[in-house]
Amino acid sequence: MKKQKGMLPFGIILGMAAMILNLALVLVFQVSSGYDKKFQELNGANINLILPKEQVTEKIREKLEQHKEIVQAEYVEGILTQATVKEFRGSDFTMNTVFYHMNETRSMNQLEVLQEREKAAQSIYLPLYVAEFGEYQTGESITYEIGNASYKYPIVGVVQEMQFGNFSTNMMGAYLSKEAYEKLLEANAGNRVYSIALKLKENQDSKQVQSELFKMFREENVSVLYGVCDSENKQGRTMVCNLLIAIFMGFVAIVVFVTLFLAKFRIQNCISQEMADMGVRKALGYTSNMIITSIIMPYMVVGAIASVNGILLSYLLLPTIAHLLGLQAGFFLHITFSLSALGITLAVLLGLVFVFTYFAARKIRKLQPIYAIRGNAECKKAALWQNLLLFFSLGILTVLVSFAGTLFYNVMVKPDNFMKALSDETASVVLRVKDADKIKEALERQKETVKVLKLSTEKVKIKSEEINALVCEDFQQLDNDICYQGRYPEKEDEIALGSAFAQEDGYQLGDVMELHLDGITQKYKIVGYIQSVNQKGELCAVTIEGMKRLYEDYQAANLYVYLQKGTDAGRWMEKQEKTYPEEIFNSFNQEELSEKTKEMYSSLIQEAILCILVVTILISLLILYVIIKSILVSRREEFGIYKALGYTNGQLIGKLAGELLPVSVVAIGLFSLAGTIYMRVIYQFIFSMAGAMKNFCQAPIVLLLGSGTGFLAVTYLISLWLALPLKKISAYQLIKE
């Protein structure tokens, strides 16, 4: 242990790997189980349905309650509508919202009140997701716009629930006082619904039962306004967490690779430098196993200490990470110490350290004492291992630098590249109108207008499942091309399906499938597949003529308006509302919401980029420290002779740093160029975890080479700094020692 100095870099890097791996494992073990625990505490339903109240007849109740897999059915009245939340993170946010009476008795999907103030007559309790992400506080007010009416409620509480507490399910809940609920019901009596919670027998496939129920509702001509099973709900609410775990695991793989290669290099270097000493030990009777153990043991001890410290450090970060993930999922995560995560982290890291160090040191068995004392070709391999360590380490770190650089470019410089994969079509303004054809041409003639598209989302059924259908007059004019295979529909009998149907139901391009609406069934040819992160790929796309096959009098309800750059969308929208008060029911400033969303992602990405760069530079520093320290130790006499011959400190420092440049240039250059290939794979993997089969992120060769050049400059400066100890050593000391 006394001779194995300079183990600090190895320990720091391994500690970082332990910290990240333990973070990922704790999330793996506790997020899913934490969700399940809270689901059980609040008695979550296996299936949640929303049906028009007038269609929930005694016959429907009997069919549900007599279903062989259903053990309990509960009916809670609500008001389902599309509501625009004002000042949601400084903008307006339109979402499907079901309003409930707060005090209505529930045995399933119970509410846990997290914050509460003195109650008021016209008041509301918000789900945790809306309160936190919308930046609303109890004691403040929130305003909903529904149709042409506006409703302002004081916020008296925040609730945690497992039904509609996260927008990934495309539905949000809101809980009103008795007076507020009755007043909203008076103006929206036609939107009265029953929210039906169903509890199934144990070990039943909720998705399969849900499909059976959809079939039954279709046979009874009952409209399912919304339906989700427990597995779909859980998947949507934990999606971001699963994505983060995958990123953590990839990051751990890189850090562990660098750590193990560093350990292998140090052992090879140790064998080369202490060859004679090992030969003497063998000649004195020490066995090969004894010598191998003496080499491996310092790495195991340092590895154990570093791993434990890294694990402990991870618990300082976990509360913050758990809080952010919990908000996204719509419930609080309570992270506790995980003995399983600790055991696996130690077993994986120390197991890998042992395997790599043992295989690096086992060649000592073949070492003959006489040849070892004289010295052999092992000493000549030190430079080779040094170059290999430098090449692969800097190459792998270049991947991180390239990722940080392209992430900055696609989020900060070209934010649309990042947003398009996560969002659907985004215009400047969306107008909900009475007659689209009547004002479309007038809007197109305005100088601020680039184009106007009739694009709406309508409800249709595939088999027995009700989904959203994108209905557009011309899909080729869309700015956001979410068709990832095949093409958009062009004829009235063509359809593009969401990714979920391609994956789960096995539909193929060219197949013919059926759409249903109000008892009418029509066949469509599948010509493409589209993606939608917000709707988990459960959607389809048809032309307006294709929609008219199901509903002869169909008229597009929405106009997507694209304005000239620099036009104030808010003012333009207000102007149209005054000009066409009878034609425009509602308007939505998509441009403003899009900008707010970009700002939110930008702040998160900046922190991520900074973290990646700091970690990359730290690992580079540690790797170069080990290499330069090894060079200084193995070539002390050589540098002493150079100093005695009159070489200056600056010349020797430049010479030492310059010797590392050729390998650094080749490694960083090759891996930077290869970024044009591997960056596509990385981004595709990340976005596919979120449900996007297609992304628009770019990796320009100029950007990759620029990032690589910057990284090369940093490594060279680090090399110069680490070589400074040469100044403090005299020629006499270098030669003598």
72 in Cβ contact with 198 (< 8 Å): yes
Provide the pLDDT for residue 347.
92
Give me 679's structure tokens.
């960056």
Provide the pLDDT for residue 733.
60
690/485 Cα distance (integer angstroms): 18
Is residue 379 pLDDT above 60, yes or no?
A: no
Provide the pLDDT for residue 596.
67
Note the residue count of the chain: 737
297-322 as b/e: b if 16+ CB within 10 A: ebbeebbbebbebbbebbbeebeebb
593/115 Cα distance (integer angstroms): 28
Condensed to tens digits (0 to 9), the pLDDT of residues 127-145 reads: 888 888 778 888 888 998 8
Confidence of residue 344 (pLDDT cuts 50, 70, 90): very high
What does pTM read for this prediction? Answer: 0.70
Q: Which of 376-385, 425-434, 697-706 has the lowest mean pLDDT?
A: 376-385
528/530 Cα distance (integer angstroms): 7
Give me 465's structure tokens.
């499942």
Nearby residues of 384 by Cβ (< 8 Å), 6 or more positions away: none
Is residue 156 pLDDT above 60, yes or no?
A: yes
The residue with greater pLDDT, 478 or 380, is: 478
Helix ranges, 497-648 (H): 499-504, 544-548, 569-579, 590-634, 636-644
Mean pLDDT of 411-425: 82
510/517 Cα distance (integer angstroms): 22
Q: Which of 44-48, 178-182, 317-321 has the lowest mean pLDDT?
A: 317-321
509/485 Cα distance (integer angstroms): 9
Condensed to tens digits (0 to 9), the pLDDT of residues 563-617 reads: 998 888 888 888 888 888 888 877 777 887 777 667 766 766 777 788 778 888 8
Nearest to 335 by CA among 21, 34, 20: 34
One-character DSSP codes across 362-393: GGGGG--HHHHHH--GGGGGHHHHHHHHHHHH
85-106 as b/e: b if 16+ CB within 10 A: bbebbebbbbbbbbbbbbeeeb
CA distances for 343 relative to 26, 309, 350, angstroms: 11, 14, 10
H or E element, residue 417 = helix 415-422
CA distances for 548 relative to 223, 557, 687, angstroms: 19, 13, 34
Torsion of CA 479, 481, 487, 492, to 10 degrees: -50
260 in Cβ contact with 13 (< 8 Å): no
Provide the pLDDT for residue 497.
92
Condensed to tens digits (0 to 9), the pLDDT of residues 199-231 reads: 998 888 887 888 788 878 878 888 888 888 887
613 in Cβ contact with 401 (< 8 Å): yes
CA distances for 289 relative to 4, 283, 304, angstroms: 18, 14, 21
437 in Cβ contact with 493 (< 8 Å): no
Confidence of residue 489 (pLDDT cuts 50, 70, 90): very high
Nearby residues of 512 by Cβ (< 8 Å), 6 or more positions away: 523, 524, 525, 526
- Phi and psi of 124, rounded to 5°? -145, 150
Nearest to 682 by CA among 260, 398, 394: 398
Provide the pLDDT for residue 294.
82
* Percentage of the residues of the chain whose pLDDT score is greater than 70: 89
22 in Cβ contact with 361 (< 8 Å): no
Is residue 417 pLDDT above 80, yes or no?
A: yes
Condensed to tens digits (0 to 9), the pLDDT of residues 242-285 reads: 777 777 777 777 777 777 777 777 776 666 666 667 666 777 77
Is residue 736 pLDDT above 70, yes or no?
A: no
Looking up tokens 């390998």 gives 663
Confidence of residue 487 (pLDDT cuts 50, 70, 90): very high
Domain ranges of the chain: 8-32+244-417+597-736, 47-203, 429-588
Is residue 370 pLDDT above 70, yes or no?
A: no
Provide the pLDDT for residue 286.
78
Condensed to tens digits (0 to 9), the pLDDT of residues 618-677 reads: 888 888 887 887 787 777 777 778 888 888 888 888 888 888 899 999 999 999 999 999
Nearest to 167 by CA among 79, 91, 83: 83
Dihedral sign from CA coordinates of 480, 483, 488, 494? negative
Provide the pLDDT for residue 731.
64
Is residue 504 pLDDT above 70, yes or no?
A: no
226/170 Cα distance (integer angstroms): 9
Provide the pLDDT for residue 612.
79
541 in Cβ contact with 488 (< 8 Å): yes
103/252 Cα distance (integer angstroms): 48
Torsion of CA 74, 78, 81, 87, to 10 degrees: -110
Confidence of residue 703 (pLDDT cuts 50, 70, 90): very high
530/538 Cα distance (integer angstroms): 10
Is residue 456 pLDDT above 70, yes or no?
A: yes
596 in Cβ contact with 91 (< 8 Å): yes
Mean pLDDT of the chain: 83
13 in Cβ contact with 619 (< 8 Å): yes
Mean pLDDT of 150-178: 83
298/301 Cα distance (integer angstroms): 5
